[in-house]
């Protein structure tokens, strides 16, 4: 194998190699606790919501936009589902589509403001996300809403395949769908062209604004789906439930762009990055490190991932 080919393969699979090294290290230090199927099934199942949020972020990022509101979409939809189901006693068959439609509507608003008023998506989605948080506190009276129908929990966390909650398989199924979209559909190719250069995309006939708007809508819907799963995971809705997911999701999205398809946001890289980060947090927790390590780990991973992503992108642009 040519040296450049070897270096590219190491770049593609470097994160997986480090992930396996982490598993080996923590396994050697705490084999009776870390190297158990119950621990790994917990890691895979409990972080399905984070995987879906990361996949949702990845779509507008591919188009060159940011969606800082996705965590608050999750929280608002989670609260809405809990209120409609537990307080108003509406059937889940009606509640769940309402939740997804709400996420799509918020994504549409994000995209419309960004595109029509030509405001940077970072500012728009930050403001919309803060506004949504206020709505969530208002409709939930700043309280946790419990009493969600057990059927939702049954099809999110209780049902298991090989001991892993079924929510994990929903996340993997979404990753497959997004991979297919980016690799084999016209919209996926237009999304990639838009992210590489909007003016170039327009010159090649891509409806750039429509692609960006669709990316925001998809992000909103995935945020809503994550909110539904979060409600099913806990059986309740908390007014601050999704806030803590934004930083690790961004860290995983950027870290994922350094592997599998280096220099490009991609679903499999994002999934691997999520479980790489979660494995690190899990291992450190088992070793007895306190909770502040989580913020140190996620924050450091985000900065490092952005730096590496920029280096990889710069090298690709130079054709190296």
The torsion region of residue 257 among left (phi > 0), alpha (psi -120 to 50) and beta comes to alpha
pLDDT for the residue 315: 55
Q: What token pair was written down for 243?
A: 């806030």
Q: Which residue has the tokens 């490009």?
A: 264
pLDDT value, residue 284: 86
| DSSP assignment of the chain | --HHHHHHHHHHHHHHHHHHHHHHHHHHHSHHHHSSHHHHHHHHHHTHHHHHHHHHHHHHHHTT---TTHHHHHHHHHHHHHIIIIIT---HHHHHHHHHHHHHHHHHHHHHHHHHTT--HHHHHHHHHHHHHHHHHHHTTTS-EE---HHHHIIIIISEETTEEHHHHHHHHHHHHHHHHHHHSHHHHHHHHHHH-HHHHHHTT--HHHHHHHHHHHHHHHHHHHHHHHHHHHSEE-TTTTGGGHHHHHHHHHHHTTSSSTTS--HHHHHHHHHHHHHHHHHHHHTT--THHHHHHHHHHHHHHHHHHHHHHHHHHTT-
pLDDT at 1 (0 to 100): 46
pLDDT, residue 7, reads 75
Give the pLDDT of residue 320: 46
pLDDT values of the chain reduced to their tens digit, one per residue, 320 residues: 444 677 778 778 888 998 999 999 999 999 999 999 999 998 898 899 999 999 999 999 999 999 999 999 999 999 999 999 999 999 999 999 999 999 999 999 999 999 999 999 999 999 999 999 999 999 999 899 999 999 999 999 999 999 999 999 999 999 999 999 999 999 999 999 999 888 888 888 889 999 999 999 999 999 999 999 999 998 999 998 788 899 999 999 999 998 899 889 999 999 999 999 999 888 888 888 766 777 777 888 778 877 776 676 655 554 54
- Chain centroid to Cα 204, Å, comes to 30
Q: 170 and 226 in contact (C-beta within 8 Å)?
A: no
């Amino acid at each position: 194998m040519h040296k450049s080919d070897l270096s590219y393969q190491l770049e593609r699979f470097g994160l997986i190699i480090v992930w396996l090294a982490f598993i080996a290290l923590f396994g050697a230090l705490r084999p009776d606790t870390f190297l158990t199927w119950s621990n790994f099934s917990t890691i895979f199942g409990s972080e399905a919501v984070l995987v879906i949020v990361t996949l949702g972020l990845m779509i507008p990022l591919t188009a060159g936009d940011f969606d800082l509101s996705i965590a608050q979409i999750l929280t608002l939809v989670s609260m809405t589902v809990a209120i409609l189901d537990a307080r108003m006693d509406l059937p889940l068959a009606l509640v769940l589509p309402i939740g997804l439609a709400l996420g799509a509507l918020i994504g549409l608003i994000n995209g419309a403001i960004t595109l029509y008023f030509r405001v940077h998506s970072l500012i728009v989605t930050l403001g919309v996300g803060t506004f949504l948080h206020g709505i969530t506190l208002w409709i939930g009276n700043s309280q946790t809403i419990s009493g969600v129908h057990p059927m939702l929990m049954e099809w999110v966390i209780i049902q298991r395949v090989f001991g892993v909650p079924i929510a994990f398989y929903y996340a993997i199924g979404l990753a497959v769908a997004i991979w297919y979209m980016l690799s084999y559909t016209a919209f996926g190719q237009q999304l990639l062209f838009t992210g590489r250069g909007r003016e170039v995309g327009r010159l090649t006939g891509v409806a750039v604004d429509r692609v960006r708007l669709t990316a925001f809508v998809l992000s909103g819907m995935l945020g809503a789906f994550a909110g539904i799963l979060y409600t099913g995971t806990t059986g309740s809705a908390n007014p601050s439930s999704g806030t803590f997911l934004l930083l690790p999701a961004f860290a995983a999205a950027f870290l994922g762009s350094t592997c599998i398809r280096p220099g490009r946001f991609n679903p499999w890289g994002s999934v691997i990055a999520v479980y790489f980060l979660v494995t690190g947090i899990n291992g450190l927790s088992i070793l007895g490190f306190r909770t502040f390590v989580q913020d140190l780990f996620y924050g450091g991973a985000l900065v490092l991932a952005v730096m590496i992503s920029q280096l990889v992108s710069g090298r690709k642009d130079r054709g190296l």
